[in-house]
């Protein structure tokens, strides 16, 4: 027969385990999926190629907006899968910190896109996207890794350079950032992840 003290001990142990798990989750960092970076990079390269063709140059904004949506959905799904493999819940503290770090920069990029589109002045838009995305990645490095912070710094630097580039090189800057940087860092992150598991 079960003693009354055993029930209290079980309840106390369960509460302690919940506290430990919450503390570990709050202190944890989100491992960035290298495969997400590679996937987003492939989408970026394809968008740069399509937007650079003569037929699609007048529609480059639509091409890049569609690419941003596809890359965000694919990258988000892969990051959510990675977080669940780590044992984090979708709305746990590390994932929430990651989203809160990323969201302001992405929101600012969307707002600036609308403002510049309404003003019919899109020359600064590629630099704006690269700079703000870079700043968002730097913010997320607090809940991920220094590698993501370095990626963000390179995006921001490329964004500053893009402000001074002629219109003919804007697609190259977008492709170098959203395609090339994502691909390179995605491969590096995957390699480091596999090396650490070996």
Residue carrying the six token digits 């709305």: 91
pLDDT confidence bin for 19, thresholds 50/70/90? low
Q: Which two tokens stand for residue 178?
A: 């959203």
- Is residue 121 one of the residues assigned to a domain? yes
Q: What is the pLDDT of residues 97-114, one digit of tens each?
A: 878 888 999 999 999 999
Which residues span the domain enclosing 114? 33-197
Mean pLDDT of 53-82: 90
What is this structure's pTM? 0.78
As a whole-number percent, the residues of the chain with pLDDT over 90 amount to: 54
Entry field: residues in the chain = 198
Total tally of structural domains belonging to the chain = 1
Q: Report how far apart the first and last C-alpha atoms of the chain are (Å, whole number).
A: 48
DSSP, residue by residue, 5-27: HHHHHHHHHHHHHHHHHHHHHHH
- Is residue 16 one of the residues assigned to a domain? no
pLDDT at 58: 92
Neighbours of 7 (CB within 10 A): 10
Residue 81 has pLDDT above 70, yes or no: yes
Residue 63 has pLDDT above 90, yes or no: yes
- Among 4-13, 96-105, 139-148, which stretch is predicted with the lowest mean pLDDT? 4-13
Q: How far apart are CA 93 and CA 190, in angstroms?
A: 24
Residue 69 has pLDDT above 50, yes or no: yes
Neighbours of 14 (CB within 10 A): 10
- Is residue 98 one of the residues assigned to a domain? yes
pLDDT at 89: 57
- Is residue 12 one of the residues assigned to a domain? no
- Is residue 25 one of the residues assigned to a domain? no
- Among 76-85, 96-105, 186-195, which stretch is predicted with the lowest mean pLDDT? 76-85
């Amino acid at each position: 027969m079960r003693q009354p003290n055993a029930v209290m001990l079980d309840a106390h142990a369960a509460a302690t385990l919940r506290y430990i798990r919450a503390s570990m989750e709050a202190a944890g960092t989100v491992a960035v999926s290298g495969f997400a970076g590679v996937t987003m990079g492939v989408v970026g390269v394809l968008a740069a190629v399509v937007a650079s063709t003569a037929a699609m140059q007048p529609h480059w904004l639509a091409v890049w907006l569609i690419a941003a949506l596809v890359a965000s959905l694919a990258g988000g799904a892969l990051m959510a899968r990675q977080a669940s493999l780590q044992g984090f819940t979708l709305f746990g503290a590390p994932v929430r910190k990651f989203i809160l770090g990323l969201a302001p920069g992405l929101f600012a990029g969307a707002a600036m896109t609308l403002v510049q589109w309404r003003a019919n002045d899109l020359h600064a838009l590629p630099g704006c996207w690269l700079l703000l995305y870079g700043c968002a990645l730097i913010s997320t490095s607090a809940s991920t890794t220094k590698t993501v912070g370095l990626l963000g710094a390179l995006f921001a630097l490329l964004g500053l350079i893009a402000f001074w580039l002629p219109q003919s090189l804007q697609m190259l800057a977008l492709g170098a950032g959203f395609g090339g940087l994502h691909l390179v860092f995605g491969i590096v992150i995957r390699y480091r992840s596999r090396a650490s598991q070996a």
